[in-house]
Amino acid sequence: MKTNIKASLAGIVLALTLLCVGCSLKEEIYDTPVPNQVLTKESDVPVVLYGLYGAMADIFAEGGIYLPLTNGTEIVGLGSVDAERTYKYDASSNYVKSLYSRNYKVINNANSLLENLEKISFQNTANAARYRGEVNFLRAFSYFHLVRFFGKVPIVTKSTTSSGDYSAPRSSVDDVYKLVFDGFKLASATCPQANVMSTAERGRVTKGAAQALLAEAYLTYANYLDLAKRSSEAPAYYQLAKTYADSVILSGSYQLVPKYADLFDNTKENDAYKEVIFGIQYTADASAGSLGSNGASFATFFAPANRFKVCGVAPDGLASATYGITPGYMIYTHRATTKALTARSIFGWATP
Amino acid sequence: MNVKDITNTYHFNINNNATFQILNGLTANARVGLDYKRIQRNMYQPMDTRIGLASKGYAYSGEGDQLSYLSDLTLNYSNTIGKHRLNAVGGFSHQDWQLRNYASVTTGFASDQLTYYAPQSANTVQTPIGKFEKSALNSFLARIAYSYDERFLLTLTGRTDGSSRLAAGHKWATFPSVGVGWNIHNENFMKSVSSSISNLKLRGSWGVSGNQSVPIGASQYTYTYSKYSFNQSVTTGYNLSTIGNPELGWENTAQVNIGLESGFLNNRFMLNVDLYQKRTTNLLFNRAIPDYTGFSYLQTNGGSIENRGVEFEAKAVAMQKAVTWNISANLSVNRNKVLDLGGMNDLFGPIFNASMGKNQFWTIARVGNPIGVFYGYKVDGIYQTPAEVDAGPADPNKVQGGWKFLDISGPDGVKDNKITTDDMTIMGNPYPKFTYGVTNDLSFKGLSLSVFIMGSQGNDILNMYRIQTDALTVTTNPPNTTREVYNNRWTGPGTSNKYPKPLFVNNRFYQRPNNTIVEDGSFIKLKTVTLSYELPARLIKGVQKLRVYVTGTNLFVITKYTGFDPEINSYGFNSMAQGFDLGSMPQIRSYSAGVTLGF
């Protein structure tokens, strides 16, 4: 009997070892999302699209766009003297580097999502077109930042793979602007007007946002042509800027908020969207603070320390004013964050 | 109330072995092993602690499971025919690992009574953190050991390993090795000298080994989380965090080894010498890629590194009468060199902020140099006079009483009389020229003394603490400084050529890694001394053995290093972060005494 038990135990051990000869070595990932599992069908797209919006918000988060936006000298690190303030910074400055890298992070994610959209079959083709429009918008938005801050930059329209040689040349400013125009134009054709969109979708790209940014991009490019002594090419782009700005104005989707200060008041956010054409979204809900999306760090760092209810600072939160800033820039930085294109700025230059 | 912090570890280990005799000399061996470890940590910070006060009671509960499973099946064959002896093993093995962690933090308790036992009574639950990983390794292996007449030895091994961590199609690799040995002392012609040469063996080997230590998921594209709010409601989205590498495969190390073992006068004196050369190819590393890719690093294979060295080991019985005195000593010399970095010239090490206000690397792998040498600016004293400042290279930071940075190169590879990142250069080597150890064991009757001395010669250390203590800058968080630095700071021409004058700048060291904190890390250390006395057996009835001893460790060190302890390594096995002294715990000096009883 004893030997039988021994023998059967030995048999079990043998069977267990033999069992594993065929054990698979396929790697399963359990605690991290991987694209080939989470992005395979139509209903998967929003999550990755929202991630792209999140990546865009990073451009405006701490360390992102502050330096170039405020032109260096405007930043006064309180109690210290640093390279950025005294114009001693170069590409190794984290402010410069992260502005560049965070925009390209958006671009790579957009490229990857665009490629994946091609692989997915859509029941709802209007949705598919809208997604494509939004992704193109966000990619163009990043290139628009890059071309203004860095001039010639590499144009990347395919997602990064491990087999790249990673030595893309810088493309001409004209080519980058062409990509910017194309992206905004596609979005203006496929995204809905703000006034027909549900409130829950507030924050997503609209036709008006695409047209307004297109107008801004044409205007900037026309000005660039003027400065580059190519004035003969400029008028056509000034005209395009006017055309698209007029489209926004005449769409009836936007109107000015009567009191300018209300744009910065957390408690009046809903009304502000009459004027805000495209803004980086933050929640003013203090209880959502732990979710990592409360408050624009721009407002937190730059608004005076005793300022409550300022855009992007959670209602019971306090701006910290780690940095001083010339007041004029707060106007440009508008609702909730740094860069929100408002009807006011469109009207501002369209009717001088 | 005190902080409660309790960690429990439960460890289970089961091994089963079954051997089947198939034929005479041929057996099959099946083995199954299971190892399970569970770790639980519960902590509560009551409201009179700093953390507990800020969060009105802070409870942490974490648990982790680690499960590893091993099974192997081998066939063993042994036979001896005349002077031929053969042993062969072949088989298969499978190992897998599973790791799970879960931790949650709750804060805001009504009282300190319930602590972590009732997290449901807390006001706030932080998002719990979890982790779950699986990996597996399959291997086929074979080994043949053959010897002829106890004189000639041959060992052939081969293994084919498959790892789940690597990319599909690149999971498997084969690693052969050959070893030969010649027991010269067993030759006939040695018989005449066998009384003086008791052991003489020459051996040589060549083999390839593999390394697959990449993080789980390294070959795959992965997403990370990002948050965005639409209409005031926070939404989680995914965006890419790593690039998939469908060609990620094994790192290989080919090693050639030649050794000589010798023993004289019945092994009273022994000397072993080993020479080796290791060449690692298809190095697994994080290649830095340009930011326009949307990533910073690519986990990839590429490049090669060479290690060459020689090891000596000598033993002698100096006395063996009433007093016995054994001496053993070893000496290791190793040189490593980067041969290739997958087409790149430089690869930078991990990024440190190190209180300088800027994240930057301090080490570099550069073709033709050891891996992970220190990299930064060179400081050549202090600008003593305004004339010296004017004569120095263009540098926005130069000031009388401040450091004189050396102009080493420029954008075209020649000196440009400007201090820029082009002037960064290799400024130290964390690897020693040689390391050594000597053990002396003396005994007389029941009394014995053992002394172990070890040392390292020619290695440099980055004393990162000095970034804080030597910077002499006013910052928003003023650090402490040392008396040495403060008393010897520059206060006027000729007062100091080492420590600069205090400056009102936010960023320590002008955010420039530099050689002022590179120090000679050579040392000799009295590592352990043990004195013991063993009483004669059966002195006390029923007690077989009674030994009393005192031991001291790290008793003294001779070094020029100014930090706490030159025997450091803050970043363990990271070959790109050797020789860093930053937050490493100095080796403690300890004394202990004890009694060993045997019944």
pLDDT grade for A329, boundaries at 50, 70 and 90: very low
Whose CA is closest to B466, among B509, B497, B496? B509
| pLDDT higher than threshold 50 for residue A336 | no
Residue B134 lies in a domain: no
Best mean pLDDT range from A264-273, A286-295, B174-183: B174-183
Residue predicted with more confidence, A8 or B467: B467
Chain A residue with Cα closest to B29: A14
Q: How far is B462 from chain A (nearest CA, A)?
A: 22
Q: How far is B8 from chain A (nearest CA, A)?
A: 25
Residue showing tokens 């062409």: A178
Residue B124 lies in a domain: no
Question: Chain A partners of B394 at a C-beta cutoff of 8 Å?
Answer: none
Whether the Cβ atoms of residue B269 and residue B251 lie closer than 8 Å to each other: no
Question: Chain B partners of A58 at a C-beta cutoff of 8 Å?
Answer: 226
pLDDT grade for A333, boundaries at 50, 70 and 90: very low
> Alpha-carbon distance A153 to A169, whole Å?
8
Question: Chain A partners of B22 at a C-beta cutoff of 8 Å?
Answer: none
> Alpha-carbon distance B494 to A119, whole Å?
73
| pLDDT higher than threshold 70 for residue A79 | no
A111-120, pLDDT tens digit by residue?
A: 999 999 999 9
Instruction: Name the least confident of A35-39, A84-88, B336-340, B500-504.
Output: A84-88
B489 and B454, same domain (yes or no): no
- Could B226 and A58 be called an inter-chain contact, meaning their C-beta atoms sit closer than 8 Å? yes
B561 and B478, same domain (yes or no): no
- Could B217 and A80 be called an inter-chain contact, meaning their C-beta atoms sit closer than 8 Å? no
Nearest to B243 among A47, A80, A162 (CB): A162
Residue B83 lies in a domain: no
Chain A residue with Cα closest to B125: A290
Question: Chain A partners of B300 at a C-beta cutoff of 8 Å?
Answer: 162
Chain A residue with Cα closest to B95: A20
- Could B130 and A55 be called an inter-chain contact, meaning their C-beta atoms sit closer than 8 Å? no
CB atoms within 10 A of CB B283: 25
pLDDT grade for B475, boundaries at 50, 70 and 90: low
- Could B295 and A54 be called an inter-chain contact, meaning their C-beta atoms sit closer than 8 Å? no
Instruction: Name the least confident of A32-46, A217-231, A319-333.
Output: A319-333
What pLDDT does residue A320 have?
A: 56
pLDDT grade for A71, boundaries at 50, 70 and 90: low
| pLDDT higher than threshold 50 for residue A81 | no
Residue predicted with more confidence, B582 or B425: B425
Cα(first)–Cα(last) distance of chain A, in Å? Answer: 103
> Alpha-carbon distance A110 to B243, whole Å?
15
What pLDDT does residue A8 have?
A: 72
Instruction: Name the least confident of A270-284, A314-328, B125-139, B183-197.
Output: A314-328
- Could B18 and A166 be called an inter-chain contact, meaning their C-beta atoms sit closer than 8 Å? no
| pLDDT higher than threshold 90 for residue B171 | yes
pLDDT grade for B531, boundaries at 50, 70 and 90: very high
What pLDDT does residue B507 have?
A: 72
Q: How far is A219 from chain B (nearest CA, A)?
A: 26
B572 and B503, same domain (yes or no): no
B292 and B391, same domain (yes or no): no
Residue predicted with more confidence, B459 or A347: B459
> Alpha-carbon distance A262 to A322, whole Å?
24
What pLDDT does residue A2 have?
A: 52
Nearest to A199 among B16, B231, B236 (CB): B231
Whether the Cβ atoms of residue B277 and residue B249 lie closer than 8 Å to each other: no
B276 and B337, same domain (yes or no): yes
- Could A156 and B293 be called an inter-chain contact, meaning their C-beta atoms sit closer than 8 Å? yes
B568 and B450, same domain (yes or no): yes
- Could A34 and B220 be called an inter-chain contact, meaning their C-beta atoms sit closer than 8 Å? yes
Best mutation target among A16, A67, A201 (most B Cβ atoms within 10 Å) is A16
Report chain A's mean pLDDT, rounded to a whole number: 78
To 10 degrees, the CA torsion angle through B577, B580, B585, B589?
120
B492 and B573, same domain (yes or no): no
Q: A50: which residues sit within 8 A by CB, 6+ positions away?
A: B226, B228, B230, B235, B236, B237, B238
B272 and B182, same domain (yes or no): yes
Structure tokens at B95: 């190992």
| pLDDT higher than threshold 90 for residue B293 | yes
What pLDDT does residue B309 have?
A: 97
B440 and B470, same domain (yes or no): no
| pLDDT higher than threshold 70 for residue A77 | no
Report chain B's mean pLDDT, rounded to a whole number: 91
- Percentage of chain B lying above the pLDDT 90 cut: 69
Q: What's the total number of domains in chain B?
A: 3
What pLDDT does residue A170 have?
A: 95
Question: Chain B partners of A32 at a C-beta cutoff of 8 Å?
Answer: 217, 222-224
CB pairs under 8 A between A and B: 246
B73-131, pLDDT tens digit by residue?
A: 999 999 999 999 999 999 999 999 999 999 999 999 999 998 999 999 999 888 899 99
- Could A17 and B219 be called an inter-chain contact, meaning their C-beta atoms sit closer than 8 Å? no
pLDDT grade for B229, boundaries at 50, 70 and 90: confident
- Percentage of chain B lying above the pLDDT 70 cut: 98
| pLDDT higher than threshold 50 for residue A1 | no
Residue B306 lies in a domain: yes
Q: ipTM value of the model?
A: 0.85
Instruction: Name the least confident of A162-176, B63-77, B355-369.
Output: B355-369
Nearest to A92 among B228, B243, B421 (CB): B421
Nearest to B238 among A38, A108, A269 (CB): A38
The mean pLDDT value for B402-428 works out to: 91
- Could A200 and B230 be called an inter-chain contact, meaning their C-beta atoms sit closer than 8 Å? yes
Nearest to B247 among A9, A25, A162 (CB): A162
B443 and B584, same domain (yes or no): yes
The mean pLDDT value for A28-37 works out to: 91
pLDDT grade for B471, boundaries at 50, 70 and 90: confident
- Could B294 and A58 be called an inter-chain contact, meaning their C-beta atoms sit closer than 8 Å? no
| pLDDT higher than threshold 50 for residue A347 | no
- Could A17 and B92 be called an inter-chain contact, meaning their C-beta atoms sit closer than 8 Å? yes
Q: How far is A52 from chain B (nearest CA, A)?
A: 6
- Could A293 and B228 be called an inter-chain contact, meaning their C-beta atoms sit closer than 8 Å? yes
Question: Chain B partners of A11 at a C-beta cutoff of 8 Å?
Answer: 18
- Percentage of chain A lying above the pLDDT 70 cut: 67
What pLDDT does residue A149 have?
A: 86
| pLDDT higher than threshold 60 for residue B550 | yes
B231 and B285, same domain (yes or no): yes
The mean pLDDT value for A151-157 works out to: 96
> Alpha-carbon distance B424 to A154, whole Å?
27
Residue predicted with more confidence, A10 or A254: A254
> Alpha-carbon distance B76 to B28, whole Å?
6
What pLDDT does residue A310 have?
A: 58
pLDDT grade for A338, boundaries at 50, 70 and 90: very low
- Could A83 and B221 be called an inter-chain contact, meaning their C-beta atoms sit closer than 8 Å? no
Structure tokens at B73: 């099946």
B442 and B587, same domain (yes or no): yes
Question: Chain A partners of B240 at a C-beta cutoff of 8 Å?
Answer: 35, 108-109, 112
Whose CA is closest to B467, among B370, B366, B360? B360
Nearest to B132 among A31, A51, A107 (CB): A31
> Alpha-carbon distance B60 to B103, whole Å?
7
Best mutation target among A6, A21, A25 (most B Cβ atoms within 10 Å) is A25
- Could A168 and B511 be called an inter-chain contact, meaning their C-beta atoms sit closer than 8 Å? no
Q: Which domain holds residue B493?
A: 360-425+464-512
Instruction: Name the least confident of A142-146, A199-203, B84-88, B313-317.
Output: A199-203
> Alpha-carbon distance B405 to B377, whole Å?
7
- Could B94 and A97 be called an inter-chain contact, meaning their C-beta atoms sit closer than 8 Å? no
What's the Cα-to-Cα distance from A228 to each of A173, A221, A224, B286, B306, rounded to whole Å?
A: 11, 10, 6, 42, 53
A265 CB-side CA count, 13 A: 10
Residue B299: in which H helix or E strand, if any? strand B297-301
- Helices then strands, counting H and E runs in chain A, come out as 13, 4
Best mutation target among A18, A38, A162, A201 (most B Cβ atoms within 10 Å) is A162
Chain B residue with Cα closest to A77: B506
The mean pLDDT value for B332-337 works out to: 96
Q: How far is A138 from chain B (nearest CA, A)?
A: 14
A82-130, pLDDT tens digit by residue?
A: 555 566 666 767 777 888 999 999 999 999 999 999 999 999 999 999 9
What does the radius of gyration of chain B's CA atoms come to, in whole angstroms?
Answer: 31
* The residue type at A230: R
- Percentage of chain A lying above the pLDDT 90 cut: 45
| pLDDT higher than threshold 80 for residue B277 | yes
Residue predicted with more confidence, B341 or B327: B327
What pLDDT does residue A308 have?
A: 56
Q: How far is A203 from chain B (nearest CA, A)?
A: 5
Residue B497 lies in a domain: yes
